[in-house]
Chain A
Amino acid sequence: MADVSLPESTAARRTISWPKIPPLVAIAVLWVVAMLVVAILAEAIAPYGVTKMDLRNRLSAPGNAAHWLGTDELGRDVLTRLIFSIRISLLIAFGATAISAIIGTLLGFLAAHFRGLAEQAVLMLADFQASMPFLILALAVLAFFGSSLPLLIGLMGFYGWERYARIARGLAISATGQGYASAIRQLGAAPSRVYLRHILPNIASTLIISMTLVFPEVILLESGLSFLGLGVQPPMTSLGNMVGYGREYIGSAPWIMLTPAAIITLTTLAVSLIGDWLRDKLDPTLA
């Protein structure tokens, strides 16, 4: 009897009980997934080429059978441009969030591992980053170097690194001071094994929550820069570019500006909702 019931109880313990997802969060997840699908399949689902001009249908209103979301002043399909803008904006946001998470976590680990001067230097840089408006620093860099897609992703990748660094440092110090990390170290493991195989998985949930907080801010930052004409450069287009371009036609063709503006707002809103929910579920200590 006992032999039969034992595996069952183990299996029951193993099944992860998914917490109930509130409808609003479910919608947010669906939205983000939809945006990702659009970004990945941009070529396949876009009705026209990005730069294809339909000169007979310039500034046509949404609802047009040939151009669902209307066209701009050059007769370019708004829906098509929107789809490619989503791709570029998400590419920058994902790339930058990943870069900043990697830089921040790495610096946090270095601070925790070496302590002393290295730690002070990291904390000083983090203080500096947190106390300067990032938009100004970003504008300064763009002024000196000009704008290109890799530079923009790299630049945005410096946004928010200090949050990961602080979290990674704090959690790594508490892990190495007492407990599993010092236990692994005294087994003879090299630091890379201690940090990557043990500490990183243990703090991953906190880092992922931080990513959901940084991600919408990166979207806002990039769209702001592109809106100002200093971010993504034509012929490439991002959501911020479209708003900036559409602003010229705010009186005659407001849809050019309103659709990308709505996408920006809904996407940041969706990721924020998911992040808030995850934070409440997984890590109430993050304020």
Chain B
Amino acid sequence: MARYFAIRLARAMITIALVVTFAFVVLRLSGDPALIIMGPEAPPEVIAAFRKAWGLDDPIWMQYFDYFGAIAKGELGRSMRDGRPAIALVLERIPATLALTIPALLLKLAIGIPGGIFAALHRGSLIDRAVMIGAVAGFTVPSFVLGLVLVLIFAVQLGWLPSGGQETWRHAILPIFTLGIGGAAVLARFTRSAMLEVLGQPYIRTASAKGVSWRAVVLSHALPNAAIPTVTIVGFMVGTLIAGAVVVESVFSWPGVGRLLVVAVANRDLAVVQCILLLVAATMVTSNLIVDFLYSFLDPRLRSRETAGAH
């Protein structure tokens, strides 16, 4: 068990290290980091101080390790637009993003999981077909198209809801639905196939042959086993809470992390971009670890297999 988590933790650290390396390489390839991070209008003494602090006059491998050190200490540079620390800019946007992504996640779970289970239990029914069609649509309709179509219908034509901005809770409805509907369909399709796979297993047929009621079979055998693959995709969705709304926030002019990222990329405000990149990586890695942890609860076989370990 301990080794299972040691391996997962090591992988998480490697992922973070790769993201930092990615940022370092891209940063070095694109020009003088001092000018890029601090901005071309920064006074020379600030640039000099930055160069000294980041060791830009050192050999490249030393810079690479110093870069890790600086990031570990939370020195992520300043926004070239208003000179504030990038980390502060990003952190103050997080609540706005979570105000969209958390309700959207709940919406996905509330529609997707029951929808998928129902579709699997009533294979071939109208709901099943709706789930399958919805899943294909959820995959093929880009979120900005869905968002704009919703704006066209509910804001432009019907005038029921605002088309953008963040003033009231009503402003959040369309972006939440845009984020939630597509994800719900994908989750429903995933849950459906996980359920169908479990329902086809011999132990389910054995249990129902033994006279256990179908309801009990589904509740005590099928659902827990179907939960295992579903946890993975939900974990991935949790991992995208911070950065999963880049496009939708832009569609609805919602001032979250995603909008900040797009503006920062357009302005080449690299300190902010780098900060968001690292934040996203940290979120993804953490949610992956949580998924691994949940896995070991849901599937004890996984643990024993890992510890026995003979490949």
- Chain A interface residues toward B at CB < 8 A: 124-125, 127-128, 131-133, 135-137, 139-146, 216, 220, 223-224, 227-230, 240, 243-244, 247, 250-251, 254, 257-258, 261, 264-265, 268-269, 272-273
Q: What's the least CB distance linking B131 to chain A, in Å?
A: 15
Q: Is the beta-carbon distance between A139 and B262 smaller than 8 angstroms?
A: yes
The CA-CA distance from A244 to B147 in the complex, in Å, is 12
The CA-CA distance from A189 to B40 in the complex, in Å, is 57
Residues of chain B in range 121-172 having any CB-CB distance to chain A below 8 Å: 136, 139-145, 148-149, 151-152, 156, 163
Is B246 located at the chain interface by the 8 A CB criterion? Answer: yes
A136 and B261 contact, Cβ closer than 8 Å, known pairs A224-B247, A230-B266: yes
Contacts of B247 in A (CB 8 A): 135, 224, 227-228
The SS class assigned to the A binding surface is helix
A143 and B265 contact, Cβ closer than 8 Å, known pairs A264-B142, A265-B145: yes
Contacts of A135 in B (CB 8 A): 243, 246-247
Q: Is the beta-carbon distance between B136 and A144 smaller than 8 angstroms?
A: no
Q: Is the beta-carbon distance between B285 and A261 smaller than 8 angstroms?
A: no
Q: Of B136, B149, B250, B280, which is within 8 A of A228 by CB?
A: B250
**How many residues does chain B have at the interface if contact means C-beta atoms less than 8 Å apart?**
51
Q: Is the beta-carbon distance between A133 and B280 smaller than 8 angstroms?
A: yes
Could you name 17 residue pairs across A and B whose Cβ atoms are closer than 8 Å? A124-B14, A131-B284, A131-B285, A133-B280, A133-B284, A139-B246, A140-B273, A141-B26, A144-B30, A145-B26, A216-B140, A243-B148, A244-B144, A250-B152, A261-B148, A265-B142, A268-B142
Contacts of B274 in A (CB 8 A): 140
Q: Is the beta-carbon distance between B273 and A139 smaller than 8 angstroms?
A: yes
Residues of chain B in range 255-271 having any CB-CB distance to chain A below 8 Å: 261-262, 264-266, 268-270
Contacts of B284 in A (CB 8 A): 131-133
A269 and B145 contact, Cβ closer than 8 Å, known pairs A127-B11, A141-B26: no
- Chain B interface residues toward A at CB < 8 A: 11, 14-15, 18-19, 22-23, 26-27, 29-30, 36, 136, 139-145, 148-149, 151-152, 156, 163, 239-240, 243-244, 246-247, 250-251, 261-262, 264-266, 268-270, 273-274, 276-277, 280-281, 284-285, 288
4 extra interchain contacts, Cβ-Cβ under 8 A, other than A136-B277, A141-B26, A243-B144?
A: A132-B284, A133-B244, A136-B246, A230-B265
Q: What's the least CB distance linking B161 to chain A, in Å?
A: 14
Q: Is the beta-carbon distance between B276 and A124 smaller than 8 angstroms?
A: no
Q: Is the beta-carbon distance between A144 and B145 smaller than 8 angstroms?
A: no
Q: Is the beta-carbon distance between A140 and B148 smaller than 8 angstroms?
A: no
A127 and B151 contact, Cβ closer than 8 Å, known pairs A143-B270, A146-B268: no
Contacts of A244 in B (CB 8 A): 144
The CA-CA distance from A131 to B11 in the complex, in Å, is 11
Residue with the highest number of chain B CB atoms closer than 10 Å, among A145, A216, A220: A220
Q: What's the least CB distance linking B211 to chain A, in Å?
A: 34
